Chain A
Amino acid sequence: MNLTGELAGLLAEVTGHPELAALPPAAPLFGGEAGLDSLSGARLLRQVHERYGVDVAAEDLNLDALQSLGALAAFIADRR
C-alpha cells in the first residue's frame, strides 16, 4: 500500500471513523469531512512518529503537514 493510503488507514483508526480510510489525498484534514481536532490530531502525530520515525510537531511549527494526507505523506517521504 502506498504511504498516503497507509496514512488514511491511520486517520480512520485515530478518529474511529472507518470511512475516512477512503479520504482523498487532497481533502483538508482540519474542518470538512475529516474533522481532525486537537485530540485525534495528537494521536495521528504520535502514530506517525512511532511508525515512520518522523516527529512532525518538532519540525513543523505551524503543522502545515496536516493540511491534507497528501501533504503529510510528502513531509514524511522527504525525511525518510
Chain B
Amino acid sequence: MIKCVVWDIDNTLLDGVYLESAGQPPPADPALTAVLRELSGRGILHALASRNPPEAADYVQAATGAQFAAARCGWDSKAESVRAIAAELDLATDTLAFVDDDMIERAEVAAALPEVLVLTPEDAGQAPQWPDFSPPVLTAEGRRRAGMYAARQRRQAEAAAFGGSREDFLRHAGTRITIGRAGTADIPRLHELSVRTRQLNSGAAALSEDDLAALVSSPAYLVPAVSLRDDYGDDGIVGVAALARNGAGSWPVPVLMMSCRALGRGVLEALLGWLSRTAAAAGATGLTVPCLITDRNVPLRLALAAAGLRAAPGSAAAGERAEFSRSLTGPLPPVPDWLTGWDGTS
C-alpha cells in the first residue's frame, strides 16, 4: 500500500519548467492537481523531489493547494532524495511511489530502489483507480494525516533546536499519552492501524474488524487503545495492544502495534510500562510478547529490549516468532508522568 507519493516538479506537477519561465512560473497541471487532492483525502501523503531551488516547493504548494510533508530540492540524485524523504517521514521505501516525466530519473530510482513504485505522470493520473492507492479503511485519523505530518515538521524543527534531553523535550512539548479501554467505536481505526503499521507491530497479518470486535468484547483480554497529542497536534489513536488475563502466571500480549507517527515520542515505551504495571497489579508474575522477527520491525524489538523483555538467544530466525518475556516480580519498567492510564479493572 502506498503511503506517500514523491513528485517531480518540472513538466510533472507544473505544466512547464519552473526556471525557464521569465517572471511568472508555469501553472500547475490540472489533472495531477486533482490527483493530489483525491489522494490527500485518502490519507496518502505527498512530497517533492526536484532539482529546482527550494522556493519552487513553496510555489508548487501555492499553485496546487496541496500540503507536502517533505521537500528535497537540490542537486542530489532523485534516488537519494527519495531515500531521504523516507527517512525524514519514517516510512519504509516500499510504501513510496515516485512520479517523474524524465525517463532517466525514473530509471535511476527504479535501479537504486526497486521496491519504490515508479510512475510516469500519465500513470499517476490513473493512480486513484488502483488498489495500491485505495486504503481499505479510512478513518478520521487517516483523513487528518497530512495535517499531522505538518505538525510533525514543526515538532521536529523545534526538537532539533531544543537544548535538553529527549524527556525534557517531550515534557516541553506538552506530550499527553492517554490509555483508554478500546470500544466498538474504535474498531475501524484499530483495523486501519493493523493494516498500515509494520515497523512497530509484533504480528504480521492484519486484524479484521471481526477479530478486533471479538478481542474488545472478550472478558479474557484487556484491550488498551493509546491516544497521543501534544502542543503541536493531536494524533488521535496511535496504538493498541491486547493483554490476556492469565491468573498468577505470565500474561501474554498477542497484539502490540503502534503507528510510526509515534516513533521517537516514547509512546511504545510508555505502553510497555503500563502493560507491565497493569498485569503486575492484577497478580501476574511475568509479561510475554510473542513477536515475529522481520527486518521491518526492528524498532519494536528495540522497545522490547529497552523494557527489559528477552527471548531465548537464537530461538527464532527471520520470519519466525520469538517469545520475549520479563519477570514482573522485581522493579517494573517506568511510565512517564504525562501518561494517563485506565486502571484496567473496570
Which B residues lie within 8 Å of A35 (CB)?
165-167
A36 touches B (CB below 8 Å): yes
Q: How near does chain B come to A45, taking the closest CB pair, in angstroms?
A: 6
The answer, among B263, B293, B305, B314, for a CB contact under 8 Å with A39, is B263
- For chain B, which range describes its interface: under 10, 10 to 19, 20 to 34, or 35 or more residues? 20 to 34
- A64 to B324 Cα, complex, angstroms: 13
Q: Which of A36, A45, A58, A64 contacts B306 (CB 8 A)?
A: A36
Q: Is the CB of A57 within 8 A of B298?
A: yes
Interface string of A38-71 (1 = CB under 8 A from B): 1111100100000000000110011110100000
Interface residues on A, range: 20 to 34
Flag if B166 contacts A63 (CB, 8 Å). no
* A residues less than 8 Å from B160 (CB atoms): 16
Task: Please tell me if B116 contacts chain A, counting CB pairs below 8 Å.
Answer: no
Q: B315 to A37, Cβ gap below 8 A?
A: no
Q: How far is the CB of A26 from chain B (nearest CB, A)?
A: 18
**Do B90 and A66 touch across chains, with their CB atoms under 8 A apart?**
no
In Å, the complex CA distance between A66 and B306 comes to 10
Give A61's nearest chain B residue, CB to CB.
B311
Could you tell me if B264 and A17 are in contact, using CB atoms closer than 8 angstroms? no
Q: Within residues 284 to 324 of chain B, which ones have a CB less than 8 A from any CB in chain A?
A: 293, 295, 298-303, 305-306, 310-311, 313-316, 318, 322
How long is the Cα–Cα vector from A55 to B310 in the complex, in angstroms? 19
Interface centre among B302, B303, B318 (most CB of A within 10 A): B302
CB distance from A75 to the nearest CB of B (A): 13
How long is the Cα–Cα vector from A42 to B295 in the complex, in angstroms?
11
| Whole-angstrom CA separation of A41 from B165 in the bound complex | 16
Partner of B315, one of A15, A16, A31, A61: A61
Contact B302 A37 (CB under 8 A): yes
**B269 and A37 contact, CB distance less than 8 A:** yes
Q: Contact residues of A with B, CB < 8 Å?
A: 15-17, 30-31, 35-42, 45, 57-58, 61-64, 66
